[in-house]
Amino acid sequence: IHGAPTPLLGGLAVFFGFAFSVFVNNLHSPEATGVAAASAIILIVGAWDDMRRVRATVKMAAQLLACAIVVYSGVRLSFFPPGLLEDAVEIFLTFLWLIGISNALNFLDGMDGLASGLGAIASLFIGITALQTDQPFLMFLSLGLMGGCLGFLPYNLRGRKPAAIFLGDAGSTFIGFTLASLGVLGTWDVNDPIKAFAMPMLILGVLIFDTTFITVSRVISGKVSSVREWLEYVGRDHIHHKLVDVGLSRRQTVFFIFLVAASLGISALVLRNGRTVDALLLLIQGFNILFLLVILMQKGAGTRNKDNGSPH
Protein backbone atom coordinates (compact mmCIF):
# COMPACT_ATOMS: atom_id res chain seq x y z
CA ILE A 1 0.00 0.00 0.00
CA HIS A 2 2.90 2.35 0.80
CA GLY A 3 5.51 2.09 -1.93
CA ALA A 4 8.16 4.26 -0.26
CA PRO A 5 9.74 3.45 3.11
CA THR A 6 7.86 5.24 5.90
CA PRO A 7 9.30 6.11 9.34
CA LEU A 8 7.79 4.07 12.19
CA LEU A 9 8.64 6.28 15.16
CA GLY A 10 5.56 8.52 15.25
CA GLY A 11 4.82 7.08 18.67
CA LEU A 12 7.75 9.02 20.09
CA ALA A 13 6.04 12.29 19.11
CA VAL A 14 2.82 11.19 20.82
CA PHE A 15 4.75 10.20 23.95
CA PHE A 16 6.62 13.50 24.16
CA GLY A 17 3.37 15.42 23.71
CA PHE A 18 1.83 13.45 26.57
CA ALA A 19 4.93 13.81 28.77
CA PHE A 20 5.03 17.57 28.12
CA SER A 21 1.45 17.90 29.34
CA VAL A 22 2.26 15.96 32.51
CA PHE A 23 5.31 18.16 33.15
CA VAL A 24 3.66 21.53 32.39
CA ASN A 25 0.63 20.78 34.56
CA ASN A 26 2.85 19.57 37.41
CA LEU A 27 1.06 16.22 37.58
CA HIS A 28 3.41 14.62 40.07
CA SER A 29 1.99 11.80 42.16
CA PRO A 30 2.77 8.11 42.70
CA GLU A 31 -0.02 7.22 40.26
CA ALA A 32 1.13 9.58 37.50
CA THR A 33 4.75 8.55 37.98
CA GLY A 34 3.80 4.88 37.82
CA VAL A 35 1.70 5.28 34.67
CA ALA A 36 4.39 7.41 32.98
CA ALA A 37 7.20 4.98 33.86
CA ALA A 38 5.20 1.94 32.76
CA SER A 39 4.15 3.64 29.52
CA ALA A 40 7.79 4.55 28.83
CA ILE A 41 8.74 0.87 29.14
CA ILE A 42 6.01 -0.05 26.67
CA LEU A 43 7.23 2.68 24.30
CA ILE A 44 10.90 1.64 24.48
CA VAL A 45 10.21 -2.04 23.84
CA GLY A 46 7.82 -1.10 21.02
CA ALA A 47 10.46 1.13 19.41
CA TRP A 48 12.98 -1.68 19.72
CA ASP A 49 10.48 -3.99 18.01
CA ASP A 50 10.00 -1.44 15.22
CA MET A 51 13.74 -1.28 14.55
CA ARG A 52 14.50 -4.98 14.92
CA ARG A 53 11.93 -7.64 15.60
CA VAL A 54 11.53 -8.57 19.27
CA ARG A 55 10.35 -12.00 20.37
CA ALA A 56 6.81 -12.21 21.72
CA THR A 57 8.11 -13.50 25.06
CA VAL A 58 10.21 -10.34 25.49
CA LYS A 59 7.25 -8.10 24.66
CA MET A 60 5.02 -9.98 27.08
CA ALA A 61 7.65 -9.76 29.83
CA ALA A 62 7.87 -5.99 29.29
CA GLN A 63 4.09 -5.67 29.41
CA LEU A 64 3.91 -7.68 32.64
CA LEU A 65 6.61 -5.46 34.17
CA ALA A 66 4.72 -2.34 33.11
CA CYS A 67 1.51 -3.71 34.63
CA ALA A 68 3.33 -4.47 37.88
CA ILE A 69 4.62 -0.89 38.06
CA VAL A 70 1.13 0.53 37.51
CA VAL A 71 -0.38 -1.71 40.20
CA TYR A 72 2.47 -0.97 42.63
CA SER A 73 1.85 2.77 42.17
CA GLY A 74 -1.71 2.28 43.42
CA VAL A 75 -3.59 2.12 40.12
CA ARG A 76 -5.75 -1.00 39.95
CA LEU A 77 -9.31 -2.21 39.62
CA SER A 78 -11.13 -2.24 42.93
CA PHE A 79 -14.60 -3.66 43.45
CA PHE A 80 -14.23 -6.40 46.10
CA PRO A 81 -14.00 -6.04 49.91
CA PRO A 82 -10.38 -6.19 51.19
CA GLY A 83 -8.93 -9.68 51.41
CA LEU A 84 -6.03 -11.75 50.11
CA LEU A 85 -8.06 -13.66 47.51
CA GLU A 86 -10.02 -10.58 46.51
CA ASP A 87 -6.82 -8.55 46.07
CA ALA A 88 -5.29 -11.30 43.92
CA VAL A 89 -8.37 -11.39 41.67
CA GLU A 90 -8.37 -7.59 41.29
CA ILE A 91 -4.66 -7.53 40.42
CA PHE A 92 -5.12 -10.33 37.87
CA LEU A 93 -8.03 -8.51 36.22
CA THR A 94 -6.02 -5.27 36.18
CA PHE A 95 -3.17 -7.05 34.37
CA LEU A 96 -5.65 -8.58 31.93
CA TRP A 97 -7.26 -5.19 31.25
CA LEU A 98 -3.96 -3.35 30.73
CA ILE A 99 -2.45 -6.01 28.45
CA GLY A 100 -5.68 -6.52 26.53
CA ILE A 101 -6.33 -2.86 25.74
CA SER A 102 -2.69 -2.04 24.90
CA ASN A 103 -2.54 -4.88 22.38
CA ALA A 104 -6.05 -4.16 21.11
CA LEU A 105 -5.02 -0.75 19.81
CA ASN A 106 -1.85 -2.24 18.33
CA PHE A 107 -3.93 -4.83 16.48
CA LEU A 108 -6.18 -2.09 15.06
CA ASP A 109 -3.27 -0.03 13.73
CA GLY A 110 -3.84 -1.26 10.19
CA MET A 111 -5.03 1.85 8.36
CA ASP A 112 -3.75 5.42 8.23
CA GLY A 113 -5.16 7.45 11.12
CA LEU A 114 -7.18 4.64 12.68
CA ALA A 115 -5.21 3.95 15.88
CA SER A 116 -4.31 7.57 16.64
CA GLY A 117 -7.87 8.71 15.87
CA LEU A 118 -9.36 6.10 18.19
CA GLY A 119 -6.84 7.14 20.83
CA ALA A 120 -7.88 10.78 20.50
CA ILE A 121 -11.60 9.94 20.67
CA ALA A 122 -11.24 7.73 23.75
CA SER A 123 -8.99 10.30 25.46
CA LEU A 124 -11.53 13.04 24.76
CA PHE A 125 -14.39 11.15 26.40
CA ILE A 126 -12.26 10.16 29.38
CA GLY A 127 -11.28 13.82 29.74
CA ILE A 128 -14.88 15.07 29.54
CA THR A 129 -15.99 12.49 32.09
CA ALA A 130 -13.10 13.48 34.37
CA LEU A 131 -14.16 17.14 34.09
CA GLN A 132 -17.77 16.28 34.94
CA THR A 133 -16.71 14.21 37.97
CA ASP A 134 -14.20 16.78 39.29
CA GLN A 135 -11.06 14.77 38.53
CA PRO A 136 -8.70 17.45 37.13
CA PHE A 137 -5.70 15.15 37.50
CA LEU A 138 -7.27 12.54 35.21
CA MET A 139 -8.56 15.24 32.86
CA PHE A 140 -5.10 16.72 32.24
CA LEU A 141 -3.59 13.27 31.68
CA SER A 142 -6.25 12.26 29.17
CA LEU A 143 -6.23 15.59 27.33
CA GLY A 144 -2.43 15.42 27.18
CA LEU A 145 -2.72 12.05 25.46
CA MET A 146 -5.42 13.41 23.15
CA GLY A 147 -3.17 16.33 22.22
CA GLY A 148 -0.33 13.96 21.37
CA CYS A 149 -2.63 11.88 19.16
CA LEU A 150 -4.10 14.92 17.40
CA GLY A 151 -0.66 16.40 16.82
CA PHE A 152 0.41 13.19 15.10
CA LEU A 153 -2.81 12.60 13.12
CA PRO A 154 -2.28 15.14 10.27
CA TYR A 155 1.01 13.44 9.38
CA ASN A 156 -0.59 10.00 9.27
CA LEU A 157 -4.02 10.78 7.82
CA ARG A 158 -3.27 13.05 4.86
CA GLY A 159 -6.20 12.91 2.49
CA ARG A 160 -5.17 11.26 -0.75
CA LYS A 161 -1.48 11.43 0.11
CA PRO A 162 0.25 8.46 1.75
CA ALA A 163 1.16 8.74 5.42
CA ALA A 164 4.38 10.62 6.15
CA ILE A 165 4.98 8.64 9.34
CA PHE A 166 3.50 5.65 11.19
CA LEU A 167 2.88 5.10 14.89
CA GLY A 168 4.70 1.80 14.82
CA ASP A 169 4.31 -0.73 17.62
CA ALA A 170 5.87 1.85 19.95
CA GLY A 171 3.07 4.36 19.41
CA SER A 172 0.08 2.03 19.21
CA THR A 173 0.99 0.00 22.31
CA PHE A 174 1.89 3.18 24.23
CA ILE A 175 -1.47 4.81 23.44
CA GLY A 176 -3.36 1.62 24.23
CA PHE A 177 -1.53 1.05 27.52
CA THR A 178 -2.00 4.66 28.61
CA LEU A 179 -5.72 4.56 27.77
CA ALA A 180 -6.09 1.34 29.76
CA SER A 181 -4.25 2.91 32.71
CA LEU A 182 -6.48 6.00 32.61
CA GLY A 183 -9.52 3.73 32.55
CA VAL A 184 -8.37 2.11 35.80
CA LEU A 185 -7.17 5.39 37.36
CA GLY A 186 -10.53 7.10 36.97
CA THR A 187 -13.17 7.12 39.70
CA TRP A 188 -16.17 6.51 37.48
CA ASP A 189 -18.91 6.05 40.08
CA VAL A 190 -18.34 5.27 43.76
CA ASN A 191 -21.96 4.36 44.46
CA ASP A 192 -22.94 2.24 41.46
CA PRO A 193 -20.57 -0.56 40.37
CA ILE A 194 -22.58 -1.20 37.20
CA LYS A 195 -22.11 2.40 36.03
CA ALA A 196 -18.45 2.32 37.07
CA PHE A 197 -18.00 -0.82 34.96
CA ALA A 198 -20.04 0.38 31.99
CA MET A 199 -18.44 3.79 31.37
CA PRO A 200 -14.87 2.71 30.49
CA MET A 201 -16.25 -0.35 28.69
CA LEU A 202 -18.29 1.92 26.40
CA ILE A 203 -15.51 4.46 25.84
CA LEU A 204 -13.09 1.68 24.85
CA GLY A 205 -15.82 -0.49 23.33
CA VAL A 206 -14.40 -0.66 19.79
CA LEU A 207 -11.04 -1.90 21.06
CA ILE A 208 -12.63 -4.46 23.38
CA PHE A 209 -14.98 -5.69 20.66
CA ASP A 210 -12.34 -6.14 17.96
CA THR A 211 -9.89 -7.95 20.23
CA THR A 212 -12.59 -10.20 21.69
CA PHE A 213 -13.95 -11.01 18.24
CA ILE A 214 -10.62 -11.93 16.66
CA THR A 215 -9.42 -13.81 19.75
CA VAL A 216 -12.51 -16.00 19.93
CA SER A 217 -12.59 -16.63 16.17
CA ARG A 218 -8.88 -17.46 16.00
CA VAL A 219 -9.02 -19.81 18.98
CA ILE A 220 -12.09 -21.60 17.61
CA SER A 221 -10.49 -21.96 14.17
CA GLY A 222 -7.25 -23.26 15.71
CA LYS A 223 -5.14 -20.40 14.35
CA VAL A 224 -4.09 -19.35 17.86
CA SER A 225 -3.43 -21.66 20.80
CA SER A 226 -1.06 -19.67 23.05
CA VAL A 227 -0.37 -16.14 24.23
CA ARG A 228 2.76 -16.05 22.06
CA GLU A 229 0.75 -16.96 18.95
CA TRP A 230 -1.91 -14.41 19.94
CA LEU A 231 0.73 -11.65 20.02
CA GLU A 232 2.43 -12.71 16.79
CA TYR A 233 -0.52 -13.70 14.57
CA VAL A 234 -1.30 -11.31 11.73
CA GLY A 235 -4.53 -11.76 9.79
CA ARG A 236 -7.21 -9.97 7.77
CA ASP A 237 -10.00 -10.56 10.26
CA HIS A 238 -10.17 -7.20 12.04
CA ILE A 239 -13.05 -4.72 11.82
CA HIS A 240 -11.34 -2.53 9.24
CA HIS A 241 -10.53 -5.47 6.97
CA LYS A 242 -14.12 -6.72 7.05
CA LEU A 243 -15.58 -3.29 6.30
CA VAL A 244 -13.30 -2.93 3.28
CA ASP A 245 -14.51 -6.35 2.13
CA VAL A 246 -18.11 -5.07 2.35
CA GLY A 247 -17.22 -2.35 -0.14
CA LEU A 248 -16.19 0.67 1.90
CA SER A 249 -13.07 2.55 0.91
CA ARG A 250 -10.21 2.69 3.37
CA ARG A 251 -11.05 6.31 4.26
CA GLN A 252 -14.75 5.49 4.68
CA THR A 253 -13.81 2.55 6.89
CA VAL A 254 -11.68 4.71 9.19
CA PHE A 255 -14.38 7.35 9.64
CA PHE A 256 -17.09 4.70 10.05
CA ILE A 257 -15.14 3.22 12.97
CA PHE A 258 -14.60 6.72 14.38
CA LEU A 259 -18.38 7.27 14.34
CA VAL A 260 -18.99 3.99 16.16
CA ALA A 261 -16.38 4.91 18.80
CA ALA A 262 -17.88 8.39 19.22
CA SER A 263 -21.40 6.95 19.54
CA LEU A 264 -20.27 4.63 22.32
CA GLY A 265 -18.44 7.51 24.01
CA ILE A 266 -21.57 9.67 23.93
CA SER A 267 -23.47 6.79 25.54
CA ALA A 268 -20.89 6.81 28.34
CA LEU A 269 -21.43 10.55 28.92
CA VAL A 270 -25.21 10.10 29.05
CA LEU A 271 -24.73 7.16 31.40
CA ARG A 272 -23.03 9.28 34.05
CA ASN A 273 -26.26 11.08 34.97
CA GLY A 274 -28.48 8.04 34.58
CA ARG A 275 -29.79 5.40 36.93
CA THR A 276 -28.61 1.81 37.15
CA VAL A 277 -31.33 0.73 34.73
CA ASP A 278 -30.11 3.43 32.32
CA ALA A 279 -26.63 1.96 32.55
CA LEU A 280 -27.96 -1.45 31.61
CA LEU A 281 -29.98 -0.01 28.71
CA LEU A 282 -27.00 1.95 27.38
CA LEU A 283 -24.82 -1.14 27.62
CA ILE A 284 -27.45 -3.04 25.63
CA GLN A 285 -27.48 -0.21 23.09
CA GLY A 286 -23.69 -0.45 22.86
CA PHE A 287 -23.92 -4.19 22.28
CA ASN A 288 -26.53 -3.57 19.58
CA ILE A 289 -24.22 -1.14 17.78
CA LEU A 290 -21.38 -3.64 17.95
CA PHE A 291 -23.69 -6.46 16.83
CA LEU A 292 -24.46 -4.44 13.70
CA LEU A 293 -20.70 -4.43 13.13
CA VAL A 294 -20.69 -8.23 13.44
CA ILE A 295 -23.36 -8.46 10.73
CA LEU A 296 -21.32 -6.20 8.44
CA MET A 297 -18.16 -8.17 9.20
CA GLN A 298 -19.84 -11.47 8.40
CA LYS A 299 -21.15 -9.95 5.17
CA GLY A 300 -17.62 -8.82 4.36
CA ALA A 301 -16.22 -12.28 5.06
CA GLY A 302 -18.81 -13.83 2.75
CA THR A 303 -18.04 -11.34 -0.01
CA ARG A 304 -14.31 -11.98 0.28
CA ASN A 305 -14.76 -15.76 0.22
CA LYS A 306 -17.01 -15.47 -2.82
CA ASP A 307 -14.43 -13.32 -4.62
CA ASN A 308 -11.65 -15.75 -3.74
CA GLY A 309 -13.68 -18.64 -5.07
CA SER A 310 -14.62 -17.00 -8.35
CA PRO A 311 -12.48 -17.60 -11.46
CA HIS A 312 -10.21 -14.76 -12.61
Residue list, annotated binding site? 106, 169
Residue 170: beta bridge partners? none
Maximum C-alpha span of the chain: 64
Q: What is the 3-state secondary structure (H, E, C) of 24-71?
A: HCCCCCHHHHHHHHHHHHHHHHHHHHHHCCCCHHHHHHHHHHHHHHHH
The dihedrals phi and psi of 248, each to the nearest 5 degrees, come to: -75, 150
- Distance in angstroms (rounded) separating the CA atoms of residues 260 and 267: 11
CB atoms within 10 A of CB 96: 12
Q: 145: Cβ–Cβ under 8 A, 6 or more apart, which residues?
A: 14, 18, 21, 119, 123, 175, 178, 179, 182
The letter for the amino acid at 110 is: G
217: part of which helix (H) or strand (E)? helix 205-221
Where is the binding site for Mg(2+), in residues?
106, 169
The burial class, CB within 10 Å (0-12 / 13-18 / 19+), for 19 is middle
- Distance in angstroms (rounded) separating the CA atoms of residues 223 and 210: 16
Work out the angle at residue 203's Cα, subtended by the Cα atoms of residues 199 and 206, and round it to the nearest 5 degrees. Answer: 130
Residue 128 · residue 268 · CB < 8 Å: no
Q: What is the torsional sign of CA 213, 266, 280, 86?
A: positive
Q: What is the torsional sign of CA 76, 117, 257, 268?
A: positive
Q: Give, in order, the Cα–Cα distances in Å from 180 to each of 116, 117, 142, 246, 295.
A: 15, 16, 11, 31, 28
